[in-house]
């Protein structure tokens, strides 16, 4: 498959909403059915050089890139549509992948005058692994300064640099999903709540630190403005609460009158296992926006009324 960007400076996201984080079974031939697991993968690139060719090649038998299962609003492939994606103009000229190889071509920098390898972007795909495959090995070709932060499902991210690459794999837990969201437009001293719930009578859903194994990713807070602009953060079973820094502290980093932005990665868990959707609601001022994404589903804005997110 080949995904091309008409111009290196284009800013439009390129997506193919054809994937799901659910494990899948598919026939391999007429006589044998092999169990296949689909693991959502997020690759966050930074310090990538312009006019370069990046490649990732798997050498582990039974592991391959995939668009995932065809299901609803899932993203099979995406470029810079996740809440934690880098901002700015696209540096991509083309992206190609087959079973074992993913190749990314970058173009010339949008503005001349800097030779620093400072391009950053995010790509999501799926990894398809056969039954019994619990690790991944291969190699990648990057410029020496480049770093790729790779997240497999609910696992702690690994960092890949030029040379050999590897990762330990766990099959996705059926009743856990990673969820990431970005808060924008907040003002100093704002209180922001993100509430998760399920339709009455269908089941229960809670915020979580992730599946109960040592490689679970837990909770992560990130700011694109330096320090995370929060005085406090807390969570209960159903409510995440954030209080942004007061005016004096906020103006020190962003200037007077500037708005605040931060991102968070967390998990939700639910019962029974066959629950298919949950609600998210943002309790905040109307000028604050919250963009959320459940696993590799399409991101969407969280409103001040219950907003449906499929699992």
**Domain residue ranges in the chain:** 2-168, 176-310
For position 251, what pLDDT does the model report?
A: 54
For position 5, what pLDDT does the model report?
A: 42
For position 33, what pLDDT does the model report?
A: 45
| Residue 163 to residue 262: CA distance in whole angstroms | 32
- 97 and 123 Cβ atoms separated by less than 8 Å: no
Q: Output phi, psi for 247, to 5 deg.
A: -60, -40
Fold of 176-310: Immunoglobulin-like (2.60.40)
For position 172, what pLDDT does the model report?
A: 67
Which residues of the chain, if any, have pLDDT below 50?
A: 1-33, 112
Q: How far is CA 285 from CA 188, 258, 295, in A?
A: 12, 16, 26
The first and second tokens of residue 102, run together, are 């993913």
Record the pTM.
0.68
Provide the residue count of the chain: 311
For position 57, what pLDDT does the model report?
A: 95
| Residue 188 to residue 181: CA distance in whole angstroms | 19
Please name every residue paired with 150 in a beta bridge, in sequence order, or none if there are none: 43, 158
For position 215, what pLDDT does the model report?
A: 64
Peptide bond before residue 272 is cis, with ω within 30 degrees of 0: yes
For position 111, what pLDDT does the model report?
A: 58
């Amino acid at each position: 498959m080949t995904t091309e960007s008409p111009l290196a400076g284009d800013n439009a996201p390129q997506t193919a909403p054809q994937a799901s984080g659910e494990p899948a079974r598919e026939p391999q031939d007429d006589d044998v059915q092999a169990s296949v697991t689909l693991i959502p993968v997020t690759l966050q690139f930074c310090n990538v050089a312009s006019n370069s060719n990046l490649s990732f090649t798997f050498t582990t038998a039974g592991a391959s890139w995939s668009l995932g299962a065809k299901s609803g609003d899932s993203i099979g492939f995406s470029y810079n549509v996740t809440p934690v994606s880098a901002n700015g103009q696209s540096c991509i000229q083309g992206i190609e992948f087959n079973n074992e190889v993913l190749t990314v071509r970058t173009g010339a920098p949008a503005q001349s005058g800097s030779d620093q390898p400072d391009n950053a972007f995010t790509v999501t795909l799926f990894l398809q692994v056969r039954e019994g495959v619990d690790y991944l090995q291969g190699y990648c070709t990057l410029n020496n300064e480049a770093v790729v932060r790779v997240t497999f499902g609910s696992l702690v991210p690994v960092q890949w640099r030029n040379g050999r690459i590897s990762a330990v794999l766990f099959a996705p837990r059926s009743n856990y999903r990673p969820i990431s969201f970005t808060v924008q437009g907040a003002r100093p001293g704002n209180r922001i709540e993100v509430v998760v719930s399920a339709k009455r009578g269908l089941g229960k859903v809670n915020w979580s630190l992730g599946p109960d194994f040592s490689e679970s990713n837990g909770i992560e807070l990130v700011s694109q403005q330096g320090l995370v602009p929060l005085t406090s953060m807390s969570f209960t079973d159903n409510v995440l609460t954030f209080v942004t820094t007061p005016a004096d502290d906020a103006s020190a980093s962003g200037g007077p009158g500037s708005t605040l932005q931060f991102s968070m990665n967390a998990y939700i868990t639910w019962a029974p296992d066959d629950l298919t959707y949950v609600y998210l609601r943002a309790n905040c001022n109307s000028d604050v926006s919250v963009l959320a994404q459940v696993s590799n589903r399409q991101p969407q804005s969280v409103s001040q009324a219950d907003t449906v997110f499929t699992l």
